[in-house]
């Protein structure tokens, strides 16, 4: 028995809408016209929100902000394929997912405005809060999926991460646990080609992210992440599979971050205009728009109306945010434990009584400017 081939693996790529908005009819997901329009509307809302958030940041009305420009199809399409009882585990670039699943815009602004209450979300929306340590979140999704499995619930979990996130041991451990326990989970990589300044090629020598699933004995698929129909279909299929007890799927959404990493970043330092231009042609909203227009599902007047509605929603969110009373210093203490230990209560008491001796409860420190990479 010399050198024998003992296993074979392949990786496939799913794509439905091409860059000109032409669809592969065989693969087209079954969606009603209102559903098609919903996808368009959510992506449009997200883009308008993004644009607004960047302005708010420049005006100092929110802090550092991470735009998802160009990646709208990924979060909108995947969230659209889920059921309300499913759970999602974001990083920090899934605003679209939050919106589609029902989170009020004000909450997302609060988070980026440095107000913890934004992370509380609303109790009827099944999203875990944003958290920043890259790669650490997918494990929570897998744990949640294991809980759903053990409690025999008809719910699945979805964990998001970036291409950079695939380098963290935690993400890889999450894949391994997902495989071993055949957890009802979808692990979604928004491969937007960059982790801050580092191109995908510096993260891993693997040709695709999807093939990482091979290491853990389950299926990985690459999906055109600028094609909302492919994203939707891939997520729906993976969700059905998970619900049927057939285990996890790794989805690599192949996309591109059109904006800076965050408002603290300057992407002209590390990438070319040509690259941007190339990707601009693959715009996910444009592509769906062309398809819907060609199908007669969308037409200019309707588009204008959708845009106007989205603008109004975002403006409403902004004014809700700005009318929100400030968080209280006591909030720092109140949510650490279910029952506050006496020594912590003492710290709180002392601090509040100290504050009460200060003019207007002023915060006498100056904060020296945003710096979130």
Partner 1 sequence: MKANMVQALNNALALELESNPNLVVLGEDVGIDGGVFRVTDGLQTKFGKNRVIDTPLAESAIIGTSIGMAAFGLNPVAEVQFSGFLYPGFDQLISHAARIRNRSRGRFSCPLTVRSPYGGGIKAPEHHSESMEALFIHTPGLKVVVPSNPTDAKGLLTSAMRDPDPVVFFEPLRVYRAFREEVPDEQYTIPLGQAKVTQQGNDLTLISWGSMFRTSMEAVQQIAENEKYSIEMIDLRTLSPIDWPTIHSSIQKTGRCVVVQEAPLTLGLASEIMARVMEKNFLHLKAPVQRVTGFDTIMPLYKLENYYLPNAERVKEAIRKAMAF
Residue tagged 């975002």 (tokens) = 314
Report if residue 136 touches its own copies, rule: CB under 8 A: no
Residue list 171-190, contact with partner 1 (CB under 8 A): 173-174, 176-177, 180
Report if residue 240 touches its own copies, rule: CB under 8 A: no
Report DSSP letters for 164-203, one per residue. Answer: GGGGSHHHHHHHHHHHHHT-SEEEEEEE-SEETTEEHHHH
Question: What is the rounded CA–CA span in Å between residue 46 and residue 94?
Answer: 10
Does 257 participate in catalysis according to the annotation? yes
Number of residues that bind its own copies (CB under 8 A): 46
Report if residue 212 touches ligand TPP, rule: CB under 6 A: no
- Residue from 58, 270, 335, 349 carrying the catalytic annotation: 270
Which of these segments, 18-26, 304-312, 333-341, 351-359, binds its own copies (CB under 8 A)?
A: 18-26
Question: What is the rounded CA–CA span in Å between residue 320 and residue 232?
Answer: 31
Residue list 135-164, contact with Mg ion (CB under 5 A): 162-163
Report if residue 67 touches Mg ion, rule: CB under 5 A: no
Contact partner at residue 154 from its own copies, partner 1, ligand TPP, none, CB < 5 to 8 Å by partner kind: none
Report if residue 371 touches partner 1, rule: CB under 8 A: yes
Report DSSP letters for 279-337, one per residue. Answer: HHTT-HHHHHHHHHHHTTS--HHHHHHHHHHHHHHHHHHHHHHHHSPPPPTTHHHHTSS
Distance of CA 260 to the CA centre of its chain: 16
Binding mask 288-327 for partner 1 (x = CB under 8 A): --------------------------------------xx
Q: Which of 1, 3, 6, 336 binds partner 1 (CB under 8 A)?
A: 336
Question: What is the rounded CA–CA span in Å between residue 84 and residue 271?
Answer: 39
Report if residue 46 touches ligand TPP, rule: CB under 6 A: no
- Residue from 93, 95, 200, 261 carrying the catalytic annotation: 261
Residue list 111-150, contact with ligand TPP (CB under 6 A): 132-134
- Residue from 93, 200, 257, 287 carrying the catalytic annotation: 257
Report if residue 192 touches Mg ion, rule: CB under 5 A: yes
Residue nearer to partner 1 on the CB measure, 113 or 317: 113
> Exposed/middle/buried for 373, CB within 10 Å: 0-12, 13-18, 19+?
exposed
Question: What is the rounded CA–CA span in Å between residue 201 and residue 193?
Answer: 8
Tokens linked to 5: 């081939």
CA-CA-CA-CA torsion for 69, 71, 72, 74, nearest 10 degrees?
-160
Q: Which of 9, 270, 299, 335 binds its own copies (CB under 8 A)?
A: 9
Residue 365 DSSP code? P
Tell me how far CA of residue 369 lies from CA of 58, 64, 130, 372, in angstroms.
Answer: 11, 9, 22, 10
Residues 6+ apart with CB under 8 A from 41: 306, 309, 310
Report if residue 164 touches ligand TPP, rule: CB under 6 A: yes
Contact partner at residue 273 from partner 1, ligand TPP, its own copies, none, CB < 5 to 8 Å by partner kind: none
Q: Which of 129, 215, 237, 320 binds partner 1 (CB under 8 A)?
A: 129
Contact partner at residue 11 from partner 1, ligand TPP, its own copies, none, CB < 5 to 8 Å by partner kind: its own copies
Tell me how far CA of residue 200 lies from CA of 88, 209, 254, 284, in angstroms.
Answer: 25, 9, 11, 20
Does 261 participate in catalysis according to the annotation? yes
Report if residue 264 touches partner 1, rule: CB under 8 A: yes
Residue nearer to partner 1 on the CB measure, 168 or 227: 168
Angle, alpha carbons 62-73-206 (nearest 5°): 100
- Output the CA torsion sign for 67, 69, 74, 75: positive
3-class DSSP assignment, residue 93: coil
Q: Which of 212, 241, 261, 287 binds ligand TPP (CB under 6 A)?
A: 261
Residue nearer to partner 1 on the CB measure, 9 or 270: 270
Tell me how far CA of residue 229 lies from CA of 73, 92, 210, 224, in angstroms.
Answer: 8, 23, 19, 9
Residue list 192-221, contact with its own copies (CB under 8 A): 202-208, 211-218
Number of residues that bind Mg ion (CB under 5 A): 4
Residues annotated as catalytic are 257, 261, 270
Residues that bind ligand TPP (CB under 6 A): 93, 132-134, 162-165, 190, 192, 194-196, 257, 261, 373
């Amino acid at each position: 028995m010399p050198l024998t081939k003992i296993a074979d693996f392949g990786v496939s790529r799913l794509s439905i809408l091409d860059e000109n908005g032409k669809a592969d009819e065989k693969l087209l997901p079954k969606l009603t016209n209102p559903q098609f329009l919903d996808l368009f509307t959510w992506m449009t809302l997200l883009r308008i929100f993004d644009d607004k958030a960047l302005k708010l940041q420049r005006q100092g009305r929110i802090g550092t902000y991470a735009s998802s420009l160009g990646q709208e199809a990924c979060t909108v399409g995947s969230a659209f394929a889920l059921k309300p009882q499913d759970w999602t585990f974001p990083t920090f670039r899934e605003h679209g997912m939050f919106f589609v699943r029902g989170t009020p815009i004000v909450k997302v602004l609060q988070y980026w405005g440095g107000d913890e209450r934004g992370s509380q979300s609303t109790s009827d929306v099944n999203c875990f809060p944003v958290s920043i340590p890259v790669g650490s979140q997918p494990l929570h999704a897998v744990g949640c999926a294991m809980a759903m499995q053990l409690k025999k619930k008809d719910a699945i979990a979805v964990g998001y991460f970036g291409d950079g996130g695939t380098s963290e041991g935690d993400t890889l451990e999450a894949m391994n646990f997902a495989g071993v326990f055949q957890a009802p989970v979808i692990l979604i990589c928004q491969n937007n080609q960059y982790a801050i300044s580092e191109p995908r090629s510096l993260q891993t020598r693997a040709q695709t992210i999807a093939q990482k699933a091979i290491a853990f004995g389950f299926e990985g698929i690459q999906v055109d992440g600028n094609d909302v129909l492919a994203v939707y279909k891939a997520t729906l299929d993976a969700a059905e599979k998970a619900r049927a007890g057939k285990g996890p799927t790794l989805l690599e959404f192949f996309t591109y971050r059109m904006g800076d990493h965050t408002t603290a970043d300057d992407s002209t330092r590390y990438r070319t205009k040509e690259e941007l231009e190339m990707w601009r042609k693959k715009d996910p909203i444009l592509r769906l728009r062309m398809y819907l227009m060609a199908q007669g599902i969308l037409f200019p007047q309707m588009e204008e109306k959708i845009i106007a509605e989205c603008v109004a929603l975002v403006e409403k969110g902004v004014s809700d945010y700005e009318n929100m009373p400030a968080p209280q210093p006591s909030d720092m203490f109140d949510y650490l434990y279910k029952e506050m230990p006496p020594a912590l209560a003492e710290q709180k008491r002392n601090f509040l009584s100290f504050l009460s001796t200060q003019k207007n409860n002023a915060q006498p420190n100056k904060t020296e400017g945003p710096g979130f990479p």
